[in-house]
Amino acid sequence: MKRKATPLFFVAVLVVLFLPISAFGQQEVSGTVQDSTDAQPLPGVNIIVKGTTQGTTTDVNGIFSLSVPSLSDTLVLSFVGYRTKEVPIDGQTQLDVDLAQQIFIGGELVVVGYGTQERRQITGAVSSIDAADFVTGNVNAPSELIQGRVPGLQVTTRSGNPNDDAEIRLRGISSFGANQEPLVVVDGVGGANMDNVDPNDIASIDVLKDASASAIYGTRGSAGVILITTKSGELQEGVSVDYNAYYTYEGIENRLDVLTGDEYRELSALTDFNVADHGANTEWFKEITQPGANIVHSLALSGGTENSTFRVSGNFRDRNGIQKYTGFQEIGGRLNFTQWALDRDLRFTVQLAATNKDHNFGFTDAFKFAGIMNPTAPVQEDGFENTGGYHEQDLFNYFNPVNIIEEGTRRGETRYFNGLLRADYELSALIPNLSISAQFSLQSEDEVRRNFYSRQHRMLGGATPSARGSGLAEQFYVDRRTELFETTIHYLGDVSPDLGTEFIAGYSFSDVVDEGFNASGGDFITDNVRFNNFGFAQDFNQGEGTVGSFRSTNRLIGLFGRANLNYRGTYFVNGSLRREGSSRFGIDRKWGTFWSAGLGIEVTNLVDISFLNSLRLRSSMGKTGQDAPESGLSLQRFAPQGNFFVDGQFIQSFGPVSNANPDLKWEEKTEINIGLDFEAIQSRLVGRIDAYNSVTSDLLFEVGVPVPPNLFPTTWMNVGELETSGLELSLDFLALRGGPDGGFSWDTGVIMSLYSDTKLNEYVTEDVQYLANPGSPGLNNPDLIRIKEGEPIGQLWGPEFSRFGENGEWLFINADGDEVAYGDLNFPDDEKILGNGLPDFQLGWTNSLNFNNFDFNVFVEGVFGHQLANMFSLFYSVPKQITSYNVLQEAFDLADLTDDPRWSSRYVENADYLRIQNATLGYTIPMRAGSPINRMRVYVSGNNLYTFTGYSGVNPQVRYQDENLGQSETGTTGGSLAPGIERRIEWYTARSISVGINVNL
Amino acid sequence: MFKKPYTLTSPLVLTLCAAALVAACTDLVEPVDSEVTADNFFQTDQQFVSALGDAYSALTTLGGGGAPAQLNEATTDEIIVPARGQDWSEGGFWFRINNHQWNIEEGTFNGFWQDYFSGVNNANRLIFQFESAVEAGSADPDQAATFISELQAMRAFYYFWLLDAFGNVPIVTSFADAEANPSQPCSAGPQCFDEGRREVFQFVEQELLNNIDNLDTNVQATYGRMNKYVAHMTLAKLYLNAEVYTGTPRWDDALTHLNEIINSGQYSLAANYHDNFATQNEGSPENMFIVPYDRVFLVGMQLAMMTLHYGSQNTYNFQNQPWNGWSATQKIYESVIDPEQNPGPQGEVWGTEPTASDDGLERIQGTLDDRLGNFIVGPQFTSGGARIMDSGVFSDFDRNGPPLTFTPALNDLEAVACRQCAARIGKYEFEPNIPGDNLSNDFVIYRYADVLLMKAEALWRQSPGDAEALALVNQIRTRSGVDPFGSLDANRLLAERGRELFWEQVRRQDLIRFEGVEGGETRFNDPWQFKPVSQAYRNVAPIPRDQLEVNTNLVQNPGY
């Protein structure tokens, strides 16, 4: 009799684990297994008694023998590349079984949209990274696991900020108004948040790069798709336990090199610029930084019996950043549970994951002020009681960085929950090879932020040297819930021995709700309660406290299908189609159609190329889309617009916040990809090359509109066209193969990505637009970036520096090639293109060496061809600034310059860099036979070890977005149209060393 | 073996949804949760009154350093925004504005255009919404008619300023049927600019005349709103400048409307000039049209931040640090203390030149005019009485070094302007101890003193020896404690307007209107300190480049 399906509760999992595996009276069965077509014996076939864990494998001659509980049992035979077969014993003791080859299954399986595919059948550009190839060391987020490992994928961890998320771009920039980051799919759940997946729980990451691979995701696939597969349990005896832990020490890798107090005085004497000498020598950066540390523990238990598998894991991270009082504590857990029933035709999957993260955000502003604060000023001084004892000065936008971090606090909590229920059912008994599945998932993300600035906080609490401020407390809550329901029907079968087919069709429905609430107020009688009781903020008594809330919803509905054809394992054709609707578009423009088609040829099946084991050609084309970034963009909406004075009192007035645009529709990207895969030298050399061209049209963007007749000066529209292309190469070479007992092995891999310019073929206007200015003091003009139809985006723009004149002034080259002073420059006629913020070339080089029990990995990453506008240097390198601010060491080289800071080509620098991103040395401790410990490895690992660069700023990494990172930034930022600007407010970068241990029981 | 059918709903849902038979499966109607649309607003009387407020929101930029002040003050001889070292150099923007060398890209022109056209658009939208509500029977027709008159008069007010700034601008009066790319009245090119400007003039005139009798006369209830007298004043200003706009003077028409205001008896001069600009200036009998700023409920009055030195934070115990920007010219300061220009009782006043004295500024004999309070000059102290120290001082011109002293003389306009130079704008009272950038003083748009000075000018223009004109000017002078004039001339009238209406956004209009009057000077185009002679086409602003780009039917003004 069949065992009943196990109840689907976690508790039950444990029960299942400890079910005794009993052995009653045993019978012997033996036999042979052979290929059904050529009758060759098959060695290594897995044979299992159905409903038990008893099993064996065939020997080299395809022969097996096995004891079974009863001769009425059934044997399950499985072998890679062959169809699994169930054979009832029916009282026999000798069984000869034929296994049929399966055209589809076999070889490397790659996770693709709504399923898996064999590597050789893929016609688009897909990269797969297994856990074994992940980046190691101090890794705190899933995206860091594949940094530099995937051609065309740029993962930019911008700074030493422990609470910073990496920026991810696939194949450059394909959109500037809508989402630019790839869609993340975790275990089949699209639009998932990576932050709820611990790096330790990830089995593999697959990246769908071209339109053909990602078109099945339609709407959100145009910036690529990252598919994360988490680890799950396996059929085995007992429970497997994995424990990983490491400790990291973090130091400052790079910081602003400003003058010491003595140098400051020296420069003053040298230049005749007066400085206020307060007599001290303060190293401000030391006052706000600390050595960072990170402690990570991860424990996972996994196992499985014939009808169920499970894996539970818990992860803990306690991280302290390089700025004092910053960091986070994170605790997370994940359960993956699968239960089979009904003769393994029904599979039920439950996944639960929860993460709680407590943040201490700190103040990015403090790094800027540590750079420009007068180094002769003491940290604390008598007479500054109103600012908590901290020395302050009456200068524009100038704050003691220690006051900022000591008198203010920024806390936050983020809670993530993901739940997934999935049922897959094999309909084979009714219709062979057909299966259906349905899944429902809920993701929720709750974020709470709590900020408090005391009455002694100068920057935000209102304190001045002459009086205390009112203090300020802020809280906000944001809650985001996504419900996703998807159902698919799947057919996998061979039409004839020559033609294999796979079809999938499905329906997807997702609802997203975003809600938020915020309050802020000050004027505290006491600072003691901080943000914990707004009742103490008298602002609320006086109408000066603010309270706000919002809610927005949106819905996506998709109908999709895909077909894969495989002719004789040589020709592969596939196509997909998705019809998708988004609530965010205009009333008659909600639906879009996305498609792809691809062809692959296994050339080595047609031509005998002696030196190649395999050669595949691929070509594909497809169209993907991008959803609008916010809800309500196609509608005319009104919201409160200040107050209106009626009969002696204020009442709220209402005004427009958007214009209607019923024509707002999908942004669309069309991409062509041509690829080549090869294997040579007994498959020790594996290479892939992809070339692509993509054109994004109907770009979603907020653009200026004529104010009569429009009510609001900007409208979201579909404008313009963006084009980019590139070439990607990955090579993996097993240079040295170790012997069976260890020996020396060396595996090395290189990835290279070449990017063309990202060209703006069409734009809102044929005229030029200027964006993004440096800011105050005094540099709110001119702008740094020019946008022009027909040109690449991200053009840094300004006058060309010539030299310094005899009178200590700047000299520039004007449009006529003459040398002129600043006042004689005509803007913008005398300006020119000074650089571009997007890279041309990206390199990743991995090396994995093994010798006996030692393993050594080193990973080098480089990005080349991009420029950065160095804002800190622009503002704070000329000697004149020492009358107010500390300046960079560079000022000594400019001692004859008496002029003010001027934007020019002098501040556009090549930011090429080559970085030793990670090096790890590990030793696997030999275990005595029979030891309860299967494997134990200890390692030491360094991250961000050294950067080779000529760039003089803090961090040469690409800035895809121009954004404000601090409260005191004054420039007007240009967003995604203005890459290539390093702002004045940046975290210093960090370097870390970790020691860790991996244990498997 | 037979398999039981399982009650999985998915195949069913899949089938149905694939066929799109179930509406919920493909329902993409977009809800708006935390804002409103026109469909779900305009239900109650309070919502109508509330909606009306948006017709005034465009005025809230007047109290800051944005486009209106940049165009109407920073281009004139009373205000200067020097680049003090690097601060405020902004790639030469203020230099170009001060020196009339602006180009069509300057954001300030687009800002001005957007501010005032948003006023026009909101009025159009509200008129449409009120009319629709009357049609639908959800609004009281009489109440709606009053609101519509108020809105049409406000729309004319915005057009008056657009006329003054740009001349030939598109006239848009409909919300529902507005053209996508409206044309100016003159769209043939620069040669018909005058014709286009005349048409805008006639539109403003006609709209105000059509609605003036429906407007409220209760000046208390309509404080901060368009009422009958605000409409009269707008007409009077339109006629006073009619020669500039149309080539034909309309002095008598100006007088008609000024007399309507005077004869109504609703307004009188306040005893003290500065009461009109106090933090609590709601009680002023003189202020006719204001922006009812409040540092909490209606923000935007930022004069303290715009003009004061960074260190002045300690004088007023502000929680925010001022920006050390907007200042008065030496010329306007001298026009008050100079006995020749402004005869009156003499006494010790702050001179204009910095010295090495303890005060940092010379004390000289000069005219004691109440309106000297418009300027903040001399050594500066903390609220506790100590000298404020400016540790960033660097110019030899700041002779006293760090002790903060506002010196009316300015050494340079750009690059090496000293940090402490130029008198600061003290016109409005600065409330101490405030958080934030915003003050609560109501910003004066129209004031009764201007009515009297305008009347004096209209009379004098027609008859230079007019006794009433002289009496009116002297009425203003006497209130500030200076000697009456024995006679009037153009320079005296213009200078008196400068002293009285300093920082009231009329100087550019005045300079242009007085062009060539008595003495052949062009006034607005004349050189003054730092500023060279400028060309006459700069008397109107260029059509902003951003607007020309998005609306290809627009034509640029002559000269640009």
Give me the residue label for tokens 């506008």: A869
Give me the residue label for tokens 């970036």: A785
Cβ-based contacts of A881 with chain B (< 8 Å): 86
pLDDT band at A289 (very low <50, low <70, confident <90, very high): very high
Total residue count of chain B as it appears in this document: 560
B319–A contact, CB cutoff 8 A: yes
| Stretch A326-343: mean pLDDT | 93
B49–A contact, CB cutoff 8 A: yes
A464·B319 Cβ contact <8 A: yes
Higher model confidence: residue A57 or residue A104? A57
Cβ-based contacts of A582 with chain B (< 8 Å): 28
A551–B contact, CB cutoff 8 A: yes
Q: Please give the DSSP secondary-structure letter assigned to residue A908.
A: E
Assess whether pLDDT exceeds 60 at residue B2.
no
Dist CA B440 CA B429 (whole Å)? 9
Give me the torsion for CA of B397, B400, B403, B406, rounded to 10°.
-50
pLDDT band at A116 (very low <50, low <70, confident <90, very high): confident
Tokens representing residue B152 in the block = 């049409």
- How much is the pLDDT for A739? 64
Assess whether pLDDT exceeds 70 at residue A837.
yes
B53·A653 Cβ contact <8 A: yes
The residue of chain B nearest to residue A544, with distances taken between CA atoms, is: B296
B380 beta partners: none
- Phi/psi of residue A535, nearest 5 degrees: -60, -25
A861 in Cβ contact with A147 (< 8 Å): yes
B392–A contact, CB cutoff 8 A: yes
Dist CA A190 CA A560 (whole Å)? 14
Give the C-alpha distances (Å, rounded to integers) separating A969 from A265, A512, A667. Answer: 28, 33, 32
A645·B388 Cβ contact <8 A: no
Name residue A872's amino acid.
Answer: F
Higher model confidence: residue B32 or residue A105? B32
Assess whether pLDDT exceeds 50 at residue A12.
no
Please write down the long-range contacts of A875-878, taking CB distance under 8 Å and 24 or more positions apart.
Answer: A875/A774, A875/A779, A875/A901, A875/A984, A876/A258, A876/A371, A876/A372, A876/A901, A876/A984, A877/A901
A362 in Cβ contact with A323 (< 8 Å): yes
B86·A395 Cβ contact <8 A: no
Tell how strand A183-186 and strand A225-230 pair up: parallel
Nearest to A698 by CA among A716, A719, A715: A719
Higher model confidence: residue A194 or residue B439? B439
Higher model confidence: residue A389 or residue A233? A389
Residue B9: Cβ within 10 Å count: 10
Q: What share of chain A is helix, strand, coil (3-state, %, to 5)?
A: 10, 50, 40
Assess whether pLDDT exceeds 60 at residue A991.
yes
- Please enumerate in sequence order all residues whose Cβ is within 8 A of that of A276, keeping only pairs 6 or more positions apart, or say none: A374, A376, A377, A393, B391, B392, B402
pLDDT band at A13 (very low <50, low <70, confident <90, very high): very low
Dist CA B221 CA B225 (whole Å)? 9
- Residues of chain A with pLDDT > 70: what percent? 96
| Stretch A646-650: mean pLDDT | 84
pTM of the model: 0.83
Cβ-based contacts of A436 with chain B (< 8 Å): 8, 10-11, 14
Q: Dihedral sign, CA of B9, B10, B12, B16? A: positive
Lowest-confidence range among A123-132, A800-809, B441-450? A123-132
Query: Could you say which of A553, A648, A770 has the minimum Cβ distance to residue B33?
Result: A553
B414–A contact, CB cutoff 8 A: yes
Cβ-based contacts of B158 with chain A (< 8 Å): none
Cβ-based contacts of A435 with chain B (< 8 Å): none
Nearest to A978 by CA among A867, A900, A819: A867
Helix (H, G, I), strand (E, B) or coil at A812: strand
pLDDT band at A325 (very low <50, low <70, confident <90, very high): very high
Task: List the 109-138 stretch of B: residues with Cβ below 8 A of A.
Answer: 113-114, 117-118, 120-122, 125
Give me the residue label for tokens 């929860």: A354
pLDDT band at A194 (very low <50, low <70, confident <90, very high): confident
Tokens representing residue A636 in the block = 């005319």
pLDDT band at A16 (very low <50, low <70, confident <90, very high): very low
Using the CB atoms, write b or e for B225-244: b if 16+ within 10 Å. bbbbbbbbbbbbbbbbbbbb
pLDDT in tens, A591-604: 999 999 999 999 98
B394·A345 Cβ contact <8 A: no
Assess whether pLDDT exceeds 80 at residue A528.
yes
- How much is the pLDDT for B217? 95
The residue of chain B nearest to residue A635, with distances taken between CA atoms, is: B37
pLDDT in tens, B214-254: 999 999 989 999 999 999 999 999 999 999 999 999 999 99
Q: Dihedral sign, CA of A949, A953, A954, A959? A: negative
pLDDT in tens, B521-540: 789 999 998 999 999 999 99
Tell how strand A981-982 and strand A867-870 pair up: parallel
Nearest CA to CA, how far is A237 from chain B (Å)?
A: 31
Cβ-based contacts of B320 with chain A (< 8 Å): 462
Query: Could you say which of A467, A557, A713 has the minimum Cβ distance to residue B317?
Result: A467
pLDDT in tens, A382-397: 989 999 999 998 888 8
Cβ-based contacts of B39 with chain A (< 8 Å): none
- Please enumerate in sequence order all residues whose Cβ is within 8 A of that of A900, keeping only pairs 6 or more positions apart, or say none: A778, A878, A880, B85, B86, B89, B415
Assess whether pLDDT exceeds 70 at residue A950.
yes
- How much is the pLDDT for B3? 37
Name residue A603's amino acid.
Answer: V
pLDDT in tens, A839-872: 999 999 999 999 988 999 999 999 999 999 999 9
The residue of chain A nearest to residue B295, with distances taken between CA atoms, is: A544
The residue of chain A nearest to residue B390, with distances taken between CA atoms, is: A394
Give me the residue label for tokens 């540590």: A370
Q: Choose from A385, A550, A707 for mutation: most chain B CBs within 10 A.
A: A707
Task: List the 282-301 stretch of B: residues with Cβ below 8 A of A.
Answer: 292, 294, 296-299
Give the C-alpha distances (Å, rounded to integers) separating A686 from A681, A727, A729, B503. Answer: 9, 17, 11, 76
Nearest CA to CA, how far is A715 from chain B (Å)?
A: 12
Assess whether pLDDT exceeds 70 at residue A426.
yes
- How much is the pLDDT for A101? 67
| Stretch B387-395: mean pLDDT | 76
Dist CA B56 CA B224 (whole Å)? 9
Cβ-based contacts of A767 with chain B (< 8 Å): 545, 549
- How much is the pLDDT for A575? 93
Tell me what the pLDDT averaged over chain A comes to: 88
- How much is the pLDDT for B536? 92
Assess whether pLDDT exceeds 70 at residue B11.
no
Number of CB pairs, chain A paired with chain B, less than 8 A apart: 295
Task: List the 690-719 stretch of A: residues with Cβ below 8 A of B.
Answer: 704-711, 713
- How much is the pLDDT for B443? 97
Query: Could you say which of A645, A773, A823 has the minimum Cβ distance to residue B292?
Result: A645
Query: Could you say which of B26, B114, B550 has the minimum Cβ distance to residue A557?
Result: B26
Tokens representing residue B123 in the block = 């009025």
Cβ-based contacts of A552 with chain B (< 8 Å): 33-34
- Please enumerate in sequence order all residues whose Cβ is within 8 A of that of A155, keeping only pairs 6 or more positions apart, or say none: A143, A144, A146, A147, A148, A166, A167, A168
Lowest-confidence range among A644-648, B350-354, B442-446? A644-648
B18·A638 Cβ contact <8 A: no
B324·A656 Cβ contact <8 A: no
Assess whether pLDDT exceeds 80 at residue A183.
yes
Sheet strand arrangement including A94-99: A63-68, A27-35, A94-99
A415–B contact, CB cutoff 8 A: no
A117 in Cβ contact with A973 (< 8 Å): no
- How much is the pLDDT for A5? 37
pLDDT band at B397 (very low <50, low <70, confident <90, very high): low
- How much is the pLDDT for A992? 93
Cβ-based contacts of A553 with chain B (< 8 Å): 31, 33
A676–B contact, CB cutoff 8 A: no
